[in-house]
Amino acid sequence: MTIQISATVALKLLSLSDAPALLKVVNDSRQRLHRYLNWVEQVTDLASTEQYIKQRISSNLYNACWYGIYINDQLLGVFGIKYANTQTNIAEIGYWLGDGAAGQGIVSLIITTIRPQLHAQFGTQTLEFKILEENMASIRIAQKAGAQFIESRPYETVTSFSKQRLLIYHAPI
Question: 40 is in which domain, residue-wise?
Answer: 2-125
pLDDT at 156: 66
76 falls within a domain: yes
160 falls within a domain: no
pLDDT bin (cut points 50, 70, 90) of residue 162 is low
Q: Does the pLDDT at position 163 exceed 80?
A: no
pLDDT at 79: 98
Q: Are 125 and 85 in contact (CB under 8 A)?
A: no
Q: Does the pLDDT at position 144 exceed 90?
A: yes
Q: Does the pLDDT at position 132 exceed 70?
A: yes
153 falls within a domain: no
Residue 94, number of CB atoms within 10 A of its CB: 17
Q: What is the pTM of this model?
A: 0.94
Concatenating the DSSP letter of every residue in 48-111 gives: HHHHHHHHHHT--STT-EEEEEEETTEEEEEEEEEEEETTTTEEEEEEEE-TTTTTSSHHHHHH
If one counts the domains in the chain, the total is 1
Residue 74, number of CB atoms within 10 A of its CB: 15
Weakest-pLDDT range from 5-19, 20-34, 145-159: 145-159
173 falls within a domain: no
Q: Does the pLDDT at position 161 exceed 60?
A: no
134 falls within a domain: no
Q: What is the mean pLDDT of the chain?
A: 94
Q: What is the mean pLDDT of the segment spanning 131-150?
A: 96
CATH of the domain at 84: 3.40.630.30
74 falls within a domain: yes
Q: Does the pLDDT at position 157 exceed 70?
A: no
Weakest-pLDDT range from 138-142, 154-158, 169-173: 154-158
pLDDT bin (cut points 50, 70, 90) of residue 159 is low
pLDDT above 70 covers a percentage of the chain that reads 96
